[in-house]
């Protein structure tokens, strides 16, 4: 018997029992709905993470640290041995952690490694405050500008190289600094205040120690105003001020003067020659690691960002699979009932010369069609729900034009086919029972 004939007969059988077919298909659709949303959320999260990395990290750069534990989890069950030569950072838990710091000699050493175009410290400075004549003081962070970031500007222009004591002001500071709009801020001066971290002692020369250890103000000219980006690593980074490396180093030197962190850096940004070439980037990474440094690439950074997302996806996927497994039993039950109700029909088909394998195929195809129907219903409902919810979710999470749920036709199609295959497997036992029915006994059945 031809497959086309078997499929037509299977469709007629399913249509003759519409209610039972739809109920079984809807059981499969529940799990499909959850799995489709999970796939869409996974695509959206991956896309968002890629945009974050793309807008904040140069793919041809490597982040380098002298501390081998900086880019990995540290064993918190054991205390650290104190080393006076180490610097310290404050973790998210509020505890102090000792870290090996990079020195100017390390920066020079990194610059000389084969395949490295340049190496420079990555500096973010917590300002004492940011203010302007006649305005209140606000906490702010000054970071080194990387031309690769290419921020969207509301006003002003960005030269190839930022001049000293010039900054890019984020949109969030416009109103509090007394500017009516972005254009009004261009060319104006703001004051960035920093405070020396050294503890005043009688042994420190008055010429070297900042007077009274009070905040010192530096004048910076606003050359551009950046629009608040939709893709930021954290909410705080949306308010970062940006200036050139020399200006940031000047303020950092003032802050760390007479402390053990003077000219010590947590991370260096190492630009690799032709670093967009994966093999060259990997080769430079190996050479840097061989010198005893810890290295993190853009790929590693992206994995770190998506690690938590992957855990959530796994949990939701498990619940979806549980629903699919439960629906498999529904398919088995439906097909067994179908075999029992059609016993005389099966006996007649056998008496007319239909082979066992054709009868088995008939029931397997019926089961597969139920699985495909359930997959189509579940996926369609998920896509409709996702399309309607995307604007609301993006607005609530502040994602801007980014979508949290992204559906790809290839993935959805593959999911539906897999569900059809699962349903076929579920129908194997009922199909086998139907194929092995004795035709004489089947015809006697009332």
For the stretch 430-446, pLDDT in tens is 878 777 776 666 666 65
* 419 or 228, greater pLDDT: 419
The answer to the question of residue 280 being in a domain is: no
Domain-ending residue, one of 200, 229, 258: 258
Domain-ending residue, one of 194, 227, 258: 258
What is the C-alpha to C-alpha distance for residues 127 and 142, in angstroms, rounded to an integer?
Answer: 7
* pLDDT number for residue 329: 79
Separation in Å, CA 267 to CA 62, 90, 96, 103, 413: 10, 15, 17, 10, 45
Give whichever of 210-219, 307-316, 349-358, 402-411 has the largest mean pLDDT: 402-411
* Through-space distance between the first and last CA atoms of the chain, rounded to whole angstroms: 27
pLDDT score of 269 more than 70: yes
DSSP letters, 309-361, are HHHHHHHHHHHHHHHHHHHHHHHHHHHHHHHHHTHHHHHHHHHTT--HHHHHH
* 297 or 140, greater pLDDT: 140
The answer to the question of residue 85 being in a domain is: no
Beta strands at 166-170 and 216-226: parallel, antiparallel or unpaired: parallel
Domain identity same for 365 and 431: yes
Average pLDDT over residues 260-273: 90
Domain identity same for 135 and 208: yes
Q: Supply the mean pLDDT for the chain.
A: 81
The residue segments making up the domain with residue 207 are 124-258
Three-state DSSP at 193 gives strand
Among 261, 256, 220, CA closest to 241: 220
For the stretch 23-50, pLDDT in tens is 888 888 888 888 888 888 888 877 877 7
* pLDDT number for residue 94: 46
Average pLDDT over residues 205-223: 74
* pLDDT number for residue 170: 92
The answer to the question of residue 265 being in a domain is: no
* pLDDT number for residue 79: 60
For the stretch 357-388, pLDDT in tens is 888 888 888 888 988 998 999 999 999 998 89
pLDDT bin (cut points 50, 70, 90) of residue 91 is very low
The answer to the question of residue 30 being in a domain is: yes
* 204 or 363, greater pLDDT: 363
Domain identity same for 135 and 243: yes
The answer to the question of residue 87 being in a domain is: no
Are 259 and 198 in contact by the 8 Å Cβ rule? The answer is yes
Domain identity same for 137 and 240: yes
Beta strands at 267-272 and 216-226: parallel, antiparallel or unpaired: unpaired
- Lowest-pLDDT choice from 59-73, 235-249, 331-345, 357-371: 331-345
pLDDT score of 347 more than 70: yes
The answer to the question of residue 83 being in a domain is: no
Domain identity same for 206 and 329: no
Domain identity same for 246 and 329: no
* 290 or 341, greater pLDDT: 290
Domain identity same for 328 and 223: no
The answer to the question of residue 36 being in a domain is: yes
The answer to the question of residue 295 being in a domain is: no
What is the C-alpha to C-alpha distance for residues 227 and 185, in angstroms, rounded to an integer?
Answer: 13
pLDDT bin (cut points 50, 70, 90) of residue 222 is very high
Beta strands at 124-126 and 141-144: parallel, antiparallel or unpaired: antiparallel
Q: Does the predicted TM-score (pTM) go above 0.85? A: no
Domain-ending residue, one of 188, 223, 258: 258
* pLDDT number for residue 249: 94
Report the domain count for the chain.
2
Domain identity same for 144 and 221: yes
* pLDDT number for residue 55: 72
pLDDT score of 295 more than 70: yes
């Amino acid at each position: 018997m031809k497959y086309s004939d078997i499929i037509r007969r299977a469709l007629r059988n399913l249509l003759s029992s519409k209610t039972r077919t739809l109920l079984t298909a809807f059981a499969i659709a529940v799990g499909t709905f959850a799995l489709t949303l999970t796939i869409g959320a996974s695509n959206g999260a991956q896309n968002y993470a890629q945009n974050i990395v793309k807008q904040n990290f140069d793919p041809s750069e490597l982040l380098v640290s002298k501390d081998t534990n900086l880019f990995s989890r540290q064993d918190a069950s054991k205390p650290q041995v104190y080393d006076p030569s180490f610097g310290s950072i404050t973790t998210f838990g509020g505890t102090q952690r000792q870290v090996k710091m990079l020195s100017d000699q390390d920066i020079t050493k990194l610059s000389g490694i084969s395949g490295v175009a340049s190496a420079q410290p990555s500096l973010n400075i917590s300002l004492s405050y940011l203010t302007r004549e006649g305005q209140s003081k606000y906490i702010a962070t000054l970071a080194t500008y990387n031309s690769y970031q290419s921020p969207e500007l509301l006003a002003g222009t960005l030269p190839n190289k930022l001049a000293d004591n010039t900054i890019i002001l984020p949109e969030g500071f416009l109103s509090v600094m007394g500017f009516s709009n972005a254009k009004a801020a261009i060319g104006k001066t703001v004051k960035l205040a920093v405070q020396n971290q050294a503890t005043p002692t009688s042994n420190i020369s008055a010429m070297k120690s900042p007077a009274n250890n009070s905040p010192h103000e530096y004048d910076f000219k606003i050359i551009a105003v950046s629009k608040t980006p939709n893709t930021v690593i954290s909410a705080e980074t949306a308010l970062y001020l940006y200036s050139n490396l020399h200006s940031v180093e000047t303020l950092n030197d003032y802050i760390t003067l007479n402390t053990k962190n003077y000219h010590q850096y947590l991370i260096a940004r190492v630009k690799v020659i032709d670093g967009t070439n994966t093999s060259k980037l990997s080769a430079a990474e190996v050479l840097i690691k061989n010198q005893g440094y810890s290295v993190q690439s853009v790929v590693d950074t992206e994995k770190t960002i998506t690690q938590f997302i992957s855990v959530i996806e796994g949990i939701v996927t498990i619940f979806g699979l549980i629903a699919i497994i439960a629906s498999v039993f529904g398919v088995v039950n439906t097909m067994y009932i179908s075999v029992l109700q059609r016993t005389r029909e099966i006996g007649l088909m056998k008496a007319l010369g239909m082979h066992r394998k054709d009868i088995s195929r008939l029931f397997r195809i019926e089961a597969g069609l139920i699985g495909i129907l359930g997959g189509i219903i579940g996926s369609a409902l998920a896509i409709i729900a996702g399309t309607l919810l995307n604007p609301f979710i993006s607005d609530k999470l502040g994602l801007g034009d980014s979508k949290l749920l992204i559906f790809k036709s290839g993935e959805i199609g593959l999911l539906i086919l897999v569900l059809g295959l699962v349903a076929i497997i579920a129908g194997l036992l009922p199909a086998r029972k139907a194929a092995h029915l004795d035709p004489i006994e089947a015809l006697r059945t009332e």
